[in-house]
Structure formats: C-alpha cells, structure tokens
C-alpha cells in the first residue's frame, strides 16, 4: 500500500507536523540528488515507518524511519567536500540510459557516497565539486550564493572584446535570460580564440549557447574554479578532499548555517557502492501476496552446482575482457598553452 500524505496532518500536540521534506532528507544523507529521491519515491522505492509513499510532498522528522529499497538511511556523517578534475568523456550521473561512461563509476573505490555540485556535460572538463551533503550541494548551486564559475574556453571563429563586453549586462537567447557574464579575449590561435568566462548561474550549456550566439563554436571547455575553490595543479581524473577546518573557514558561517552543514560529526568511511540505491532497479510483480523485495529475492539466481560454476566462470571472463579494454586508453586532450 502506498502512503499518501495527509494535508495538514496533526501530531499529538495538535500542531501541524514539523520536519523537512523527505527528498531533502534523502539528499542530505548523500544517497542522491533531490530529483533522484523524488524519482525513487514515484517508483515506490521509499518507505516511511514501514509504508511506501507515493508523493514527495511529505515532511519527516528525526523519529521517522526512512528506507530506500528496504535499506535504512545511513546516519549523517560530517559534511565533506572534494575537488575532482573531471576528464572529457564522462557523464555527470550515476547511471546513463545510453550506456556511456559515468563520472561516479570512475571515482576511486574508497570514496564515500557523494553527489555533484551542479553538473559538467560530457565534453566539458575541469573542476567539479563533490560532497556527501545534499543540503550543501543545493546551496552551492544557487545563483543567490554569488559564487563565480570560471572557465577557460577555446572556440572556432573570431570575436572582439567589445562584443564580449556586451555580455556584462546579460543576454537573452531563444527566450532564455542569462545573467551578467565577465568574458575576456585572451588570444587568437590559428582559426581559434582562447577566452576566459566567468558566470554565476551555470544554466544548461550556458557558455556554449552564449558563444554560439556570438558566432563561435566551442571545441574545448575547462572549468578552472567554482567560487573560492580552484582546479590548480590537480591532475586529470584525481580527487582531493578539502580538510574540515579549511572547508569551515571557506564556506563561512552564512553558507554553513543555510546548508545546515555539520563539521563535528563522524567521518564516513563506507564506500559509495555499499548503500547507493541501484539505478538499474525495477519493481518486481507481487507473487502470492509477497512484497516486491521478497519477490526480488525469490528471483535471485541460485548457485546450484555446475550452473553456479558456469556463471562464475562467465563473469570472470567478462571482467578480464573489461580490464583489458580499460587499459587500452585513448587520446588525451593537451593542456592549453599559455
């Protein structure tokens, strides 16, 4: 049975039930974004106090028991932030319907559960912030926070500094309004130009769309900084954690309070794969009155002698081929010359 929230639900004291929206609580636990949490709720994967819920319009409190796929939410750990040098060719998502390589599969196995602060598209590289605190991710994504996102851009075509200066007051493109942009023409290189872009909003493909509006075609895009955090000499594909004292100081009391950040809690050492909800999960039909989780367990492959041995051998062979393919590598983009 799906539990629908009751409008104006009263607690024992007679006051309206207080708490936080359930999607926000799930995101803060580091399991995924609010959007992902809402999708899990719609799929019937989230339960509160033993009953599956059908709508994210539900407030929960500290005494409520929340589970995702039957697994209780992990206890909240210390707010952590990581700097990641994202390579090109990775999608910023936990699962991709097109089967492309995803950022979260490429992260080191020892990483805790994290979500990204905003996104970088598949062909964009550079600095991406990762955090285990969904509340912090949400606050840092907001334009109201006022953090500049700085990019190094290589684009095909020609543009003048005067045209770039016209972006300082913002620009409207195809009915979408983009806020003020600080853009500098650094140099020309053959048929290309190198630019520095600084924006506060970070709307979907904003840099590419604005430059296309000016007659340029972006062929390389590198994020250099996100607010006070910089890419620096961080090597491609590597992760570096911001130590707690530095993080507390850099965020400042206003952002920390708004995000309800916790700098005193325990460190979470459990790897991301331990409790992250399976993005490939599909609900199983009920059989003989059994729950979906019971039905899923009943359909799990059984290790019955020769059949189990064959399955293990096939899996081992597949993994060996995958490792060989991973070692083949591929062309890596060169760094821009100064």
Q: Which residues are identified as catalytic?
A: 121
| Secondary structure element (H or E) that encloses residue 150, with its range | strand 149-156
Q: Which residues contact 254 (CB under 8 A, 6 or more apart)?
A: none
First to last CA, the chain: 62
Looking at 168-249, which runs of residues are DSSP E strands?
171-173, 176-178, 182-189, 192-199, 217-226, 229-230, 239-242
Q: What share of the chain is helix, strand, coil (3-state, %, to 5)?
A: 30, 25, 45
Nearest to residue 136, comparing CAs of 56, 229, 67, 207?
229
Instruction: Count Cβ neighbours within 10 Å for each residue of 214-236 and write b for 16 or more, e otherwise.
Output: bebebebbbbbbbbebebeeeee
Instruction: For the beta carbon of residue 333, count every other beta carbon within 10 angstroms.
Output: 13
Q: Are 272 and 111 in contact (CB under 8 A)?
A: yes
Stated as kind and residue range, the H or E segment containing 293 is helix 292-298
Q: Report the SS3 class of residue 85.
A: strand
Q: How are beta strands 192-199 and 182-189 bridged, if at all?
A: antiparallel
Helix crossing, 244-259 with 134-141: angle to 10°?
80
Contact assessment for residue 235 and residue 83, using Cβ atoms and an 8 Å cutoff? no
């Amino acid at each position: 049975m799906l539990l629908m929230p009751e409008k104006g639900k009263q607690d024992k004291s007679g006051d309206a039930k207080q708490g936080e929206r359930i999607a926000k609580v799930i995101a803060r636990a580091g399991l995924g974004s609010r959007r992902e949490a809402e999708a899990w709720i719609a799929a019937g994967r989230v339960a509160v106090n033993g009953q599956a819920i059908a709508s994210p319009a539900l407030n929960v409190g500290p005494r409520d028991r929340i589970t995702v796929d039957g697994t209780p939410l992990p206890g909240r750990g210390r707010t952590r932030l990581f700097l990641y040098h994202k390579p090109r060719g990775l999608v910023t998502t936990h699962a991709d319907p097109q089967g492309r390589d995803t950022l979260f599969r490429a992260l080191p196995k020892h990483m805790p559960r994290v979500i990204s602060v905003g996104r970088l598209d598949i062909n964009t590289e550079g600095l991406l912030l990762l955090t285990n605190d969904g509340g912090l991710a949400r606050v840092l994504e907001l334009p109201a926070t006022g953090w500049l996102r700085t990019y190094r851009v290589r684009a095909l075509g020609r543009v003048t500094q005067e045209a770039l200066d016209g972006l300082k007051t913002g620009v409207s493109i195809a009915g979408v309004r983009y806020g003020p942009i600080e853009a500098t023409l650094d140099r020309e290189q053959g048929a290309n130009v190198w630019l520095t872009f600084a924006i506060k909003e970070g709307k979907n493909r904003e840099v590419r769309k604005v430059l296309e509006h000016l007659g340029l075609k972006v062929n390389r895009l590198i994020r250099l900084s996100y607010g006070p955090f910089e890419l620096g000499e961080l090597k491609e594909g590597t992760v570096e954690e911001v130590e707690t004292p530095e993080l507390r100081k850099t965020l400042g009391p206003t952002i920390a309070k708004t995000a309800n950040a916790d700098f005193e809690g325990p460190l979470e050492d459990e790897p991301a794969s331990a409790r992250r909800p399976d993005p490939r999960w599909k609900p199983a039909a009920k059989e003989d009155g059994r729950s979906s989780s019971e039905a899923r367990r009943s359909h799990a492959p059984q290790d019955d002698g020769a059949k189990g041995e064959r399955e293990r051998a096939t899996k081992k062979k597949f993994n060996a081929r995958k490792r060989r393919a991973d070692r083949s590598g591929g062309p890596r983009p060169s760094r821009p010359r100064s």
